[in-house]
Amino acid sequence: MTERLVVIGGDAAGMSAASQARRLKGPDELSITAFERGHFTSYSACGIPYWVGGDVERRDDLIARGPEEHRARDIDLRMRTEVTEIDVAGQRVRTLDRDSGETSWTGFDKLVIATGARPVRPALPGMDAAGVHGVQTLDDGQALLDSLDRATGRRAVVVGAGYIGVEMAEAMLKRGFEVTVLNRGEQPMATLDPDMGRLVHDAMDGLGITTVNRSGVTSIRTGPDGRVGAVETAGASYPADVVVLGIGVEPETALARAVGLPVGPHGGLLTDLSMRVVGHDNIWAGGDCVEVLDLVAGRTRHIALGTHANKHGQIIGSNVGGGYGTFPGVVGTAVSKVCDLEIARTGLREKDARAVGLRFVTTTIESTGRAGYYPGARPMTVKMIAEYRTGRLLGVQIVGRDGAAKRVDVAAVALTAAMTVEQMTSLDLGYAPPFSPVWDPVLVAARKTVTALRRAGTA
Amino acid sequence: MTERLVVIGGDAAGMSAASQARRLKGPDELSITAFERGHFTSYSACGIPYWVGGDVERRDDLIARGPEEHRARDIDLRMRTEVTEIDVAGQRVRTLDRDSGETSWTGFDKLVIATGARPVRPALPGMDAAGVHGVQTLDDGQALLDSLDRATGRRAVVVGAGYIGVEMAEAMLKRGFEVTVLNRGEQPMATLDPDMGRLVHDAMDGLGITTVNRSGVTSIRTGPDGRVGAVETAGASYPADVVVLGIGVEPETALARAVGLPVGPHGGLLTDLSMRVVGHDNIWAGGDCVEVLDLVAGRTRHIALGTHANKHGQIIGSNVGGGYGTFPGVVGTAVSKVCDLEIARTGLREKDARAVGLRFVTTTIESTGRAGYYPGARPMTVKMIAEYRTGRLLGVQIVGRDGAAKRVDVAAVALTAAMTVEQMTSLDLGYAPPFSPVWDPVLVAARKTVTALRRAGTA
């Protein structure tokens, strides 16, 4: 008998799961039906800022695989079809065709929930005005690009100074706008400690981006034409011809919560190591709608990132298709850039470490990405956090230019292996003058952290 | 009583040891005398190709710390003074002042041997002709630069196609020479497997560098002026206005061997984990004159590389100064480039694995350093070797552009942590379109290696 797999959501996690399951089982063993409520499948949402900024020319460059490619692999993909209800006991989902309005039921033996995340959009006056844009989907990106053409002035306000916020600040700058970033937090990039966020702030200043910290939006003021005119905060008003919302996302789990599937403290679905929804033998979930285990903190987190979604999909597809795979968790690695400034983090920030009861020492060092005498050597700041007593690495943050961001990968692997900073001092990292000083910046930070541990009467 | 430390060799290992010992102990506790037979201290030999090529403007840019700086730290540094004999039982060294010709004895309580390496210079006819140059020391580099000015034609022959060879090929190209590289091996970069060396060969072709493989030099022919005229191999003659020798180095241990200090199979001094010479409680050795433990092969190797020398010096200085440090070994990481082609390796090549009795699978994948749609995404080839049955990572080789080389660091840390390739597939590496495809090339290689292990009936 043919087993029936239903996938809710046609982006990274869902379609990776479908594709991997199909690789392992042919259509006579396993039928696969996937529902996508939007117009696109398998696209890189992370690439939208670069398309808006003009680095990536065409929208379709961001699409890894279109509906026809999926269908050619015997995946029955239904576009513009929204799943409106999961009947767990009855093993079926109800769907709505968003074009025709028709509804119907589809039965499943195994279900994959990959409903993704939705942008946080605070319910403030004027939020729905013309010229106010999210950048979560390709449709959003297209709407923003069209809006830029219609904008009469060149003043852009970006709300939020996280990854999306700073990337969109760069994009708007590249489109010739005067850019103001309104940031609720103490410094931009709240995923870094404030002392490292300060470096990002300074660099953004240098790039001509105005960043206003501790600045929560209270309303959007519209002009007589109904289009956005200004963004209001408690203390000021920022004239705006276009507004980009980069406030972050939250797991899209309404469907799953409606039938009592378990969600965690951050609103994401909870799964076991095989990405199966806790308590449900035949339901898997992955991508931006789940919480993942933070291996350093020993707690779940919500992280919306394409690389995790792809891994989840791969693992779910293996397990659904009769293979085997597990997702052990994350260490919280993230990289980004604003123009030539690279920003990276992995592991815990100071406040994360405190929140889970860890005592620690921190050090911050300055180095360069190449030998100091090699042309193009640019400064790089590395902050390292290690546990008191054990000396175990807890986190690394890097802000700099020219090879700064991907250096965080060394720390990501060290965190995964639960290395101490003492062990890290003897890591055999690649050295040649065009690629690193003779002591790689990560090694310099590790050495200094060892000294700090010793001074703290530990290690 | 003041303890007496004598250091033989004033470059990376020796002067790092001296400086670190001084940090821990003041001059009334520890006297430090260092002997350097040449004109320079603490310089970056690895930077010489970039100085010759013109990327680095001045010789002195390569000097990290000059004699006066060391002396200002209460290190009694004697330049142009060669140690000609070690009296182990008598705890003293005999020195020769190379300018005055005077000799004398200096007593020690603790001795650090940091005599470095010397270039392999085969005893072939014509090898001493004007216009034939090594690039081991700053003096060598200056002599080569002067020679370039005197050369009447623009044909350079580089003998050797390892790191120094390919870097010097780039340097000579940048100086406007027509470059031929004569390589004894099957492919350039014998530190890679030949299939990966082939990619380097192809790229060098593309850069206009002629590489002749399986081509051993038999003699250097000189012209009537006594200057080099051509390089002869068994089958051919290559006209040359300048010849650069990049054949590699071997440990400089004559002094130590003369008094029976233990050397290993590669001619380097053997030390314990604290970098103390085996069997000698008060003698340490580090840098290019020692063998290091290859943590993957479980054997010693000789690797002349500034980053190891600096670590050795640091550790020796800590131990000599009453602190504590150990050097666990290396995994064999090395990075280099020829123009924009980046070359990296870590761990074992196929033949290394075979030589130590390991059975393995290999995979090779093609990817890019950025998301495929991001501007400037360039191809990158990653080869991965994993042990049969255990699935443990054994080695990685990368050839490509734009962020290829330093990606090897991820594998270097994974090797240090003895990770399996299965574990590597879930590594949380930094992802954003300007820095990586959604599956980092290292992850793609790990996934494919897992599949290869499965097909091999293992894992």
Compute the count of residue pairs across chains A and B with CB atoms less than 8 Å apart. 204
Note whether residue B325 is domain-resident: no
Cβ–Cβ under 8 Å, residues A41 and A75: no
Q: Are residues A20 and A39 in the same domain?
A: yes
Q: Which residue has the tokens 């050090």?
A: A363
| A311: chain B residues, CB-CB within 8 Å | 425-426
Do A432 and B336 make contact, defined as CB atoms within 8 angstroms?
yes
Q: Are residues A220 and A311 in the same domain?
A: no
Mutation target among B164, B413, B444 for the A interface, most CBs of A within 10 A: B413
Q: What is the pLDDT of residues A378-403, one digit of tens each?
A: 999 999 999 999 999 999 999 999 89
Q: Which residue has the tokens 């030949």?
A: B194
- Amino acid at site A304: A
Q: Residue B429, SS3? A: coil
Note whether residue A335 is domain-resident: no
Catalytic positions of A: 46
Which pLDDT score is estimated for A121?
A: 85
Q: Are residues A275 and A201 in the same domain?
A: no
Q: Which residue has the tokens 């005229």?
A: B229
Residues in B 375-414 with any Cβ partner in A closer than 8 A: 375, 403, 405-410, 412-414
Catalytic positions of B: 46
Give the whole-angstrom CA distance, residue A75 versus residue A27. 8
Do B435 and A56 make contact, defined as CB atoms within 8 angstroms?
no
Which pLDDT score is estimated for B112?
A: 98
H-assigned helices in B151-236: 163-174, 194-206
Note whether residue B385 is domain-resident: yes
Which pLDDT score is estimated for A63?
A: 95
DSSP summary character for residue B47 = G
Q: What is the pLDDT of residues B36-61, one digit of tens each?
A: 999 999 999 999 999 999 999 999 99
Q: What is the pLDDT of residues B146-182, one digit of tens each?
A: 999 988 899 999 999 999 999 999 999 999 999 999 9
Q: The complex's ipTM?
A: 0.96
Q: Are residues B114 and B136 in the same domain?
A: no
Q: Of A132, A143, A81, A121, which Cα lies nearest the Cα of A250?
A: A121
B65 touches chain A (CB under 8 A): no
Which pLDDT score is estimated for A457?
A: 80
Mutation target among A407, A415, A428 for the B interface, most CBs of B within 10 A: A428
Instruction: Provide the number of structural domains found in chain B.
Output: 3
Q: Are residues B146 and B182 in the same domain?
A: yes
Q: Tell me the CATH number at A15.
A: 3.50.50.60
Domain closes at, from B229, B247, B265: B247
| A434: chain B residues, CB-CB within 8 Å | 50, 337
What is the domain range of residue B197? Answer: 121-247
A373 touches chain B (CB under 8 A): yes
Domain closes at, from A223, A247, A271: A247
Q: What is the 3-state secondary structure (H, E, C) of chain A?
A: CCEEEEEECCCHHHHHHHHHHHHHCCCCCEEEEEEECCCCCCECHHHHHHHHCCCCCCHHHHECCCHHHHHHCCCEEEECEEEEEEECCCCEEEEEECCCCCEEEEECCEEEECCCEEECCCCCCCCCCECEECCCCHHHHHHHHHHHHHCCCCEEEEECCCHHHHHHHHHHHHCCCEEEEECCCCCCCCCCCHHHHHHHHHHHHHCCCEEECCCCEEEEEECCCCEEEEEEECCCEEECCEEEECCCEEECCHHHHHCCCCECCCCCECECCCCEECCCCCEEECHHHECEEECCCCEEECCCCHHHHHHHHHHHHHHHCCCCCCCCCECCCEEEEECCEEEEEEECCHHHHHHCCCCEEEEEEEEECCCCCCCCCCEEEEEEEEECCCCEEEEEEEEECCCCHHHHHHHHHHHHCCCEHHHHCCCCCCCCCCCCCCCCHHHHHHHHHHHHHHHCCCC
In sequence order, which residues have a C-beta less than 8 Å from that of residue B123 and are 6 or more positions away?
none
Chain B residue whose CA is closest to A164: B432
Q: Are residues B110 and B143 in the same domain?
A: no
Residues in B 321-360 with any Cβ partner in A closer than 8 A: 326-328, 330-337, 342, 344, 346
Q: Are residues A241 and A269 in the same domain?
A: no
Note whether residue A356 is domain-resident: yes
Q: Are residues A99 and A87 in the same domain?
A: yes
- Amino acid at site B48: I
Do B430 and A408 make contact, defined as CB atoms within 8 angstroms?
yes
Q: Are residues B164 and B211 in the same domain?
A: yes
Which pLDDT score is estimated for B121?
A: 85
A46 touches chain B (CB under 8 A): yes
Residues of chain B with pLDDT under 50: 459
Domain closes at, from B320, B355, B376: B320
Residues of chain A with pLDDT under 50: 459
Note whether residue A326 is domain-resident: no
Q: What is the token pair recorded at A350?
A: 């100071």
Do B47 and A344 make contact, defined as CB atoms within 8 angstroms?
no
Note whether residue A271 is domain-resident: yes
Do A432 and B335 make contact, defined as CB atoms within 8 angstroms?
yes
Q: Tell me the CATH number at A449.
A: 3.30.390.30
Do A373 and B61 make contact, defined as CB atoms within 8 angstroms?
yes
Cβ–Cβ under 8 Å, residues A241 and A150: no
Q: Of B86, B82, B85, which Cα lies nearest the Cα of B101?
A: B82
Chain A closest-CA separation from residue B42 CA (Å):
12
Note whether residue A334 is domain-resident: no
A105 touches chain B (CB under 8 A): no
Which pLDDT score is estimated for B458?
A: 61
B108 touches chain A (CB under 8 A): no
Note whether residue A330 is domain-resident: no
Q: Are residues A274 and A368 in the same domain?
A: no
Do B332 and A307 make contact, defined as CB atoms within 8 angstroms?
no
Q: Of A355, A340, A368, which Cα lies nearest the Cα of A439?
A: A368
Q: Are residues B216 and B189 in the same domain?
A: yes
Do A417 and B417 make contact, defined as CB atoms within 8 angstroms?
yes
Q: Are residues A242 and A306 in the same domain?
A: no
Question: String of b and e for A360-372 (b: at least 16 CB within 10 Å)?
Answer: bbbbbbebbbbbe
